[in-house]
Amino acid sequence: MAAHELAYSTVTDLAARIRRRELSPVEVIDATIARIEARNPSINAFIYEGFDDARQAAKEAEQAVVSGGELGPLHGVPTAIKDLFDFKPGWPATFGGVRAFKDFIADFWCVFAERVEAAGAIIVGKTNSPVMGFRGTCDNPLYGPSRNPFDVDRNAGGSSGGSAAAVADGLVPFAEGTDGGGSIRIPAAWCGLYGYKASFGRVPLVVRPNAFGNTMPFIFEGPLTRNVEDAALALNALAGYDARDPFSLDETHDFTGAVRRSVAGMKIAYSPDFGVYPVDRRVAGVVADAVRAFDEAGAHVSEIAFELPYDHNELSDLWCRQIMLVNLSTFENLKNLGTDLLADHRDDFPQQYLRWIDAAYEMTPVDINRDYVMRTEVYDAIETVFESYDLIVTPTLAVLPVENADDGNTTGPSEVEGQSVDELIGWCMTYFTNFTGHPSASIPAGLADGLPVGMQLIGRRYADADVLAASAAFERMRPWQHTYERCANRM
């Protein structure tokens, strides 16, 4: 079977065809590998190709089909995991292209890899990420930038940029993203994908030696897909209790049912800027038009004035300080294991990163408590909206995809519509829900100048089904599958 014949098949369709014996897992994986070999050099999505392991897993998956064995919901479906805090035993882990870890091999699992394999999926490799995931673009000095399949001169977005590029370019039908400030939703927006970040606790995250480290801010694993139903199917496999995560929810749901729900009567609050962000007028125009689809589906959309006592620079600085508490814990753990990154490998880190990790070491308990007060105010502002509305809709990002740099240090813009913004994260309208734990998704809203624009949907805490239902309703009103022709047909 030619690689292009399966390139844009959905997770749902591939799994069903494998169960019906219309496709064999071996031919699916062979076609996937052939497409990766042909197209990955132009987008730099994969930084590790686990093809031998994938071929062996495909043979075992095929034997299970032939023998009538029990098949998981993702049986035989190819996928990829991210190269950050994401692990599969025997595979490399460079924490986003940190040169000191170019030869490091993990001997442990991340929950995403563990659970999708248990559901029958076959992991074919690892995808590119920025150093320690600390920016909204995808670039690093070890592997370079991941390029956007819609325009290879531009960035795929971060930090899960390699995963997003791989899915948009038809290399795999779904891939892992992790999200500590928007790292699922940011590359989804720039690569024209659906990116889903669940409610805090819905998908467990196992962090050691500090089991409480995924709260500063809330950190998530989740899927990047080309449609909503595939994300719901992946969420079914990922969600559920895990005793290793003290915040894991002891609940089970079939999220695929939500994609067929009506949104008639749902009350949706539309904020074009969260009250604080400058937004590129091209992005603003696409999202303002897209949000009307909810009215067409029977919901009621009202534009609201979102109120916060801080400007966007104060809030992006807050996120940088919060996420650095997680990074500080990582550095200290590695030091205890014999690797002092700041003492022996300081040059492996961009200056923007070093500024914030050095600041984290100077923070006092009073500073940390003050930041939690700021974070609480963001939570209260969102909850105030939910007193009257079922969903909040905003742009996902304030800007279109940026051009790649040639020095391993691509950043976002430092100015938007005449206002200065933090070049790492200040143009990303995503990290609020990492402060608060609300479920949120980025959905393709349309194109501006031939480049994807994302629209963010935010639901009440634990109302994942509402976000999925509204996302699917939008997909029915404004389908976007045709946009991938721009990726498939590029030279």
Burial class, 286, CB count within 10 angstroms (exposed 0-12 / middle 13-18 / buried 19+): buried
User: Which amino acid would we find at residue 32?
Assistant: T
Q: In what order do the strands lie in the sheet with 194-197?
A: 174-179, 220-225, 194-197, 440-448, 451-459, 391-395, 267-270, 300-303
Instruction: Answer yes or no: 159 catalytic.
Output: yes
Tokens of 108: 């442990």
Beta bridge partners of 96: none
Catalytic residue among 183, 199, 271, 471: 183
C-beta of residue 89 within 8 angstroms of C-beta of residue 109: yes
Beta bridge partners of 456: 394, 442
DSSP letter string over 139-175?
--TTT-PPEETTEEEEE--SSSHHHHHHHHTTS-SEE
Catalytic residue among 82, 88, 126, 197: 82
Tokens of 428: 């990303």
The SS3 of residue 477 is: helix
Instruction: Answer yes or no: 82 catalytic.
Output: yes
Give the angle 184-185-187 at the CA atoms, nearest 5°: 80
Instruction: Classify residue 298 as left (phi > 0), alpha (psi -120 to 50) or beta.
Output: left
Q: How far is CA 127 from the centre of its chain?
A: 12
Residues 6 or more apart whose CB falls under 8 angstroms from that of 267 comprise 299, 300, 302, 388, 389, 390, 391
Instruction: Answer yes or no: 262 catalytic.
Output: no
Burial class, 107, CB count within 10 angstroms (exposed 0-12 / middle 13-18 / buried 19+): exposed
Catalytic residue among 9, 159, 163, 271: 159
- Closest alpha carbon to 171 in 5, 32, 336, 354: 32
- Using the structure block, give the residue that is written with the tokens 């091209």: 282
C-beta of residue 237 within 8 angstroms of C-beta of residue 15: no
Q: 55-68 burial, b for 16+ CB within 10 Å, e for fewer?
A: bebbeebbebbeee
C-beta of residue 442 within 8 angstroms of C-beta of residue 185: yes
The residues annotated with a catalytic role in the active site are 82, 159, 183
